Structure 1
Amino acid sequence: MLSGARRAKSTSLRQPGPKRPAEPPREEGKVGLRLALAQGSLGMELAAAIRLGPLDVRELSVRLEDLRFPLDLSGGVARFRHRRGRLMGGLVGVELATLGKHLEPKLRGQLLASAPVAVTIATAPSGALSVGISSEGAALAFDVVLAPMEQDLRVLVEDARALGLAAPAHVAAVRLVGLALRSLGEVAGGGFVVRDPLGQVARRLLPDAGARAPATRGLVVSVREAGALELVVEGRVGAAGELSSRAIRALEAAELAAPGDSAALAGDLEAARSAYLAALERAPRHAELATRLAALDLSLGDRAEAALATLVDLSGPLGAGLLGSLVLESVGENEAAYASAARAAADEPYGPLAALAWLRAARLTRDAAARTDALDRAIVRSPSLSAARWERFVARLYTGDIRGALGDAQHAEASAPSHERFDVCRRAAEALAERGHLAEAQT
């Protein structure tokens, strides 16, 4: 069952919903306001940018209503802060590296029990956000598509892929996004709707400065990139802009997959399977639908052949990335599983997941040279991946590359927490002694 976001049956990704203010995050620092004149109206605005958790609130402009001119401005902001107003504009920057660090404590233990996670977020060329979450031995990567809807923001998850998880990748990704949003987002199928995000910010900051929370009617939200590591959410009163082609495709996919996603998130996998099949009848060979169905069948443990058939109907398991590799291995096709894992690893942009994919390829091949190459590539993509270090350490021992093996052992020892370093050294020494390298084992 999805936790961390409010479930609302009436929530739609197509239609704006009722404006129910959600609980906004806490602020950091003191809020300062100043009077502003624009287009013959008096208003208030932030005197300076202010931090609000991982957000950089750069602009909040409120037009004061029901004023009669001439006005006495001698009292400054204090004279007008009790007046009702309307939010005319807002600008919030989101530093994606800061956002990732902010989410790490909240997502601890969500990949592996009690284990810390590393969260990486960056803008993608397609206009989405690329999200990667990793823990030792497990990694999950997916895209988050942001689609504005008047003053709301729809959050859609696509292209999820993972290794080391028990749940299907898409289900795990949606659950983590739900935990990240918590009460800020309403569940809508396999996506979320964040109601009035700029209004939430204004309702948190302005009352603490002694001003009334403003109305937000007519505000239109837009999202744009500001470099690879920053996102800007802007609101202005006016007409809504056009959605990107990626956002339109994501909305269509979310609408098709909504019944299946809802059932999968609730743990009813049989109902989810039936819903995905019904959706595929409406949209044959739809890549997202077919991938989610195949991942669901694979997770059930006894439907690997059904998962393979779904991928064959789509484009073939070799082109299905890590999911294709997992399915091929489960039906005994290890050589094809190796080829699929190696192809997916080479194409994967998220380093920790690419490293695990190369490690998987190394374990699937019987060719010593291919195995060594895969282990080398795994360590290049994630130098701190201890499993790949140890497997290359053993491989180098067996081929007589003692210097290289010692280098891997020293890397493993340096990367380990201080309380685990003795065990790392003992493990390396025992392996060296077993192969007859007593002098090296003693060091």
Structure 2
Amino acid sequence: MSLELSTPSTEGPRFDLRFERGRVQLRLGRPLVLDGLELEHLVVSLDFRGPVDLRGGARRFRHHRGRVVELRARVRPTKLATSAAEARTLRVDDAHAARLRLAYRDEAGVLSLDGALAFDGVDLVWQPRELGWVRGSPRSAWDRFARLATALGSRAEPTTGTMRFERPVRAILAELFLPHGWRVPDERGCGLRATDDGESIVLEAGERIVGPRLPQAPSLDFEASEPSGAPGALRASLDAADLDAAVRAHRELRGWLAAEAALAIAERFEHALEPDALVDWLLRGLASFPEDERAWRRWTSRLAERGALGALRLADVALAGPLSRASRAELAVRAATGVLDAFGDPQWSDEPGVDPMLERRLRRIVSEASALAPESGRVLAARAALAHREGSLAEAARFWERAADAAEDRATASDWRRRAGQLLLGLEGPAAAEPLLRRALEESSNGPEVLTELASVLVERGDLIGAEELYARLLKEPHERGPERRAALLCAARHHLERGAPDRARPFLSELGDDPVSLEMQDELSDADADDVANEPLSGEHSVVLYASPETSQVLSPSGQVALDDFDDEGLGEEDELFDDEGVLEELDDDALDQLFEESPRPRHLRAVDKDDPLESLVLGTAKREAGGDAGHLDSWLPRLGAKPPASIPPNLPPPPLPPSGLPPMTRSPSGPPVTLVSVADDELRALLEAVAESDDPGALLEGALEEALTDADADGVRRVLRVLQRVDDFAGAAALAARARRLLERLDEEP
């Protein structure tokens, strides 16, 4: 026999040490109690030869093998029956003297058995005498009986038609002794007897006890037809076509059959009954099974999910019932939170609030549950919901966080911690909410809702790179296609569109497929692309970036025109109006450019340029050409400018033509920023520059290069990314990426 008891004894056995007739005896000093089981009296005999060391007391003998001399234990079948695998599986209707009547529910209905109970040696045997079942089943009645035996930890014997529990006394002692390090004594030298005291079956063992044997009777015919009477009335109640017929059949039932019928009526006619009548039927059924925790939890949760006030009636009855303290507290808060959720958040809901009497009732139920289980996660969550409803937001946030720490599973913990973060976001700002949301994201395994909220908090804190890294997880990690993920994808796409990075938004929109909002946003992208094509420079012209900070870069076209289209009149001062004059925006020769940069006031957009730098002065056209021709002087700079010097120039031929104003060939990707290709001694820097020039998404490419450098702790790699950022035009996220690179260099103890 195997016992699966849910609440083990927290303290081990305590024995008194005695000597009697040359033997050492251990007598149980106090009863040991488990769910449905109580060991009242136990005497164990130990045989010793020679002196005995008593300095360790009774625990000195916990590893010695002993023999049971006397034993008395109480078993409450109604309590043990509730530990079956499924709700409403087993019912004990009566247990008296040597008889036991059970009801077993399976997929076919209810199987009713009434039989004699007695010991056969050290085994307990139950011999059914009467059988009744409700509704037919493809399986035979014997098969159903055998499945019941397996569920009870016993075996069915087909030759005798009985159910045998092997050595139940040893199983009881093992449950009580082994967890505390005590060896199980042997009970096989005792006689065993089963009696009844009204509520429990009493098992007695002793050297002089002789128990009754099972009476000789023919085994039960499991294939006999269903008897009439009460089981037939139960079937009529379960199969009635209407509520009135079911109620009439229910009046003929008594005991557990009436309770089963009441629960069946409540389940079958749940939506036809008035709310109060439904709860009446439930209480009529559950009252017969006050210790069936699964049935109570099932119906309380079912009503609470609907927000029915009847859940509070069940909670009141459960709080006064015989269930454990933790179970009663959980049932109460399930009912209370269900009703609170049904009435919504008072700050946002348009529905009428809860009336004062009901609010007082909710507070009372939650208060009683808190007294029973103050550290229960569900109790703390209920207290948080009440505090939120009353406007105590800081207190509600603390309760939500404590509830998350005590939650039984990660998904529930994530949900409760997310609520705490939402409240702190409004109370203390994004800095206080970020740690909670990060932990909630980890507990939810990158759940889309938590991910989106954390990304918005990072954007509010100015960490655009971190937010975009979070959004990228939506594309990397598989998730079920649901409304939460669709909403997160839309948020990610909108984030990139608002920051002028349509190429980064397209992967998120493509994941959405035929979503109406996605199609509308893709149409907007198509219109934007058409506008970009219309605004492209003339064929053969490319842009070149002057060496300035990303925020103040000036762009020159190869024709020599200063491209100031991106600047409006309001952004220019008086000294800058020269560059906004259409008369100046004409094709200029080299001398005109020299004079322009030497004599004219320079706009503040170009003040970051160092004209003393020979390379920059060459790009700007301010370098003085040496006598003897342009080629000899410029060839020395061509490798730095990304152009190849001629292999050999015949003396009688003119030098190869250079780009206008001595500017190098430029490359511009279809959607990326213009890039100056500079050939330098660092081959890796040159390769990165070329890759950025050809990339449709230079920001993502540079971000990947930065991550690779961070992984390898490569300070030179981080510097390369910074140098490339100095040579490209501004794009969405460039400033944040440069700031991140500088922070990484500081972490690596390097100078930028």
Tell me the TM-score normalized by structure 2.
0.32
Work out whether residues 104 and 148 of structure 2, in 8 Å CA contact, stay in contact via their aligned partners in 1.
no
1:226 counterpart residue number: 197
Secondary structure of 1:82 counterpart: coil
Q: State the secondary structure of the residue aligned to 1:156.
A: strand
Match of 2:188 among 210, 213, 217: 217
Alignment match of 1:385 (pick from 245, 254, 264): 264
Summarize deviations over 1:197-235 as a string: whole Å, max 9, x none: 2123334433444433323332111101110x3111111
Distance 1:186 1:90, change over 3 A: farther
1:342-367: per-residue Cα shift (whole Å, max 9, x none)?
Answer: xx13xx5xxxx74334555x67xxxx
Output the amino acid matched with 1:175: R
Contact map agreement 2:116 2:127 (CA 8 A) in 1: yes
State the AA in 2 paired with 1:92: A
Deviation at 1:125, TM superposition (A): 5.7
Report the Cα distance in structure 2 between the residues aligned to 1:35 and 1:239, rounded to whole angstroms: 24
Residues 186, 194 of structure 1: 8 Å contact kept: no
Q: Name the CA shift for 1:233/1:359 in 2 (closer, same or farther; >3 Å).
A: same
Show the counterpart of 2:224.
294
Match of 2:144 among 172, 175, 183: 172
Matched, 1:76 2:46: no
Write out aligned runs for 1:190-209 (5 A): 190-209=161-180
SS in 1 for 2:173: helix
Rate the CA distance shift 1:420–1:215 in 2: closer, same or farther, 3 A: closer
Return the alpha-carbon distance in structure 2 between the equivalents of residues 139 and 186 of structure 1.
19
Q: 1:236 pairs with 206, 217, 220, which one?
A: 206
1:172 is displaced (CA, Å) by 1.6
1:128 aligns with 2:95: no
Instruction: Give the residue type in structure 1 aligned to 2:207.
Output: V
Counterpart amino acid of 2:201?
Answer: L
2:37 and 2:74 in contact (8 A); partners too: yes
- 2:41 maps to amino acid: E
- The counterpart of 1:99, out of the listed 71, 75, 80, is 80
CA offsets 1:230-255 (integer angstroms, 9 cap, x no match): 11111112352333xxx314xx334x
Change (3 A) 1:219 1:354: farther
Contact 2:96 2:201 in 1 (8 A): no
Q: Deviation per CA, 1:129-182, whole angstroms, max 9, x where unpaired?
A: 11123479822211243221222212323312111341344442332122211x
Output the CA distance in 1 between the equivalents of 2:238 and 2:9.
Answer: 43
Please state how far the C-alpha of 1:195 moved relative to its aligned partner.
2.5
By percentage of residues, which structure has more strand?
1
Does the 8 Å CA contact 1:359/1:375 hold for their aligned counterparts? no
- Are 2:234 and 1:355 aligned? yes
AA of the residue aligned to 2:147: R
| CA pair 193-355 structure 1, distance change in 2 beyond 3 A | closer
| Cα separation, 2, equivalents of 1:131 and 1:137 | 16
Q: 2:25 aligns with which of 43, 53, 70?
A: 43
Give the deviation of 1:64 after TM superposition.
0.7
Give the whole-Å Cα distance in 1 for the aligned partners of 2:165 and 2:248: 45
Equivalent position SS for 2:82: helix
Q: Say which of 62, 83, 88 aligns to 2:44.
A: 62
Whole-angstrom CA distance in 2 between matches of 1:204 and 1:358? 41
CA contact (8 A) 2:17 2:58 kept: no
Q: State the distance in 2 between where 1:81 and 1:94 align.
A: 25
Residues of 2 paired with 1:197 and 1:236: CA distance?
Answer: 15
Tell me the distance in 2 between the aligned counterparts of 1:371 and 1:53: 36
Partner of 1:156: 127
Q: Separation in 2 of the partners of 1:419 and 1:137?
A: 29
Residue by residue, what CA displacement relative to the aligned partner does 1:100-142 show, whole Å, maximum 9, x if unpaired?
2122xx1x2xxxxxxx425321435673111123479822211
Distance in 1 of aligned mates of 2:303 and 2:72: 44
Q: Distance in 1 between matches of 2:91 and 2:107?
A: 15
Post-superposition offset of 1:61: 1.9
**Offset at 1:49?**
1.8
Secondary structure of the 1:294 match is coil
Q: Which has the higher contact order (CA 8 A, sep 6+)?
A: 1
Q: Secondary structure at the match of 1:99?
A: helix
Residue 83 (structure 1) shift: 3.0
Length, aligned pairs only: 281
Aligned with 1:83: secondary structure? coil
Query: Partners of 2:250 and 2:28 in 1: how far apart?
Result: 54
Partners of 1:81 and 1:384 in 2: CA distance? 49
**1:242-253 alignment, distance < 5 Å:** 242-243=212-213, 247-249=214-216, 252-253=217-218
Instruction: In structure 2, list runs of 5 or more residues that go unmatched.
Output: 283-298, 308-752
Q: Secondary structure at the match of 1:133?
A: strand
- The within-5 A match list for 1:297-312 is none
Q: Which whole-Å CA distance do the structure 2 matches of 1:419 and 1:164 have between them?
A: 32
Separation of aligned partners in 1, 2:258 and 2:167: 43
CA contact (8 A) 1:150 1:219 kept: no
Cα separation, 1, equivalents of 2:211 and 2:247: 52
Q: d(CA) in 2 for partners of 1:209 and 1:31?
A: 5
Q: Residues 142 and 73 of structure 1: is their aligned pair in 2 closer, same or farther, counting only changes over 3 Å?
A: same
Once the 2 structures are TM-superposed, how far is the Cα of residue 187 of structure 1 from its aligned partner? 4.3
Please state whether the residue corresponding to 1:30 is helix, strand or coil.
coil
C-alpha distance after superposition, 1:51-103 (max 9, x if no partner): 3453222233210112436x553431133333332111222211122112122
Write the distance in 1 (CA, Å) between the matches of 2:183 and 2:268.
58
CA distance in 2, matches of 1:34, 1:233: 20
Distance in 2 between residues matched to 1:185 and 1:371, nearest whole Å? 37
> Of 278, 301, 304, which aligns to 1:411?
278
Is this contact kept in 1: 2:117–2:127, CA < 8 A? Answer: yes
Whole-Å separation in 1 of the counterparts to 2:187 and 2:97: 30
Distance change (3 Å), C-alpha of 1:137 and 1:205: closer
Q: TM-score, normalised by structure 1?
A: 0.52
CA distance, structure 2, for counterparts of residue 79 and residue 85 of structure 1: 13
d(CA) in 1 for partners of 2:134, 2:182 = 50
| Alpha-carbon RMSD | 4.2
What amino acid sits opposite 1:143 in the alignment? D
The question of whether the paired residues in 2 share the 8 Å contact of 1:90 and 1:235 is answered with: yes
Partner of 1:428: none
SS at match of 1:198: helix
- Stretches of structure 1 that go unaligned for 5 or more consecutive residues are 1-21, 109-115, 255-287, 296-322, 325-339, 364-368, 394-404, 423-443
Shift of the 359–57 alpha-carbon distance from structure 1 to 2, 3 Å rule, reads same
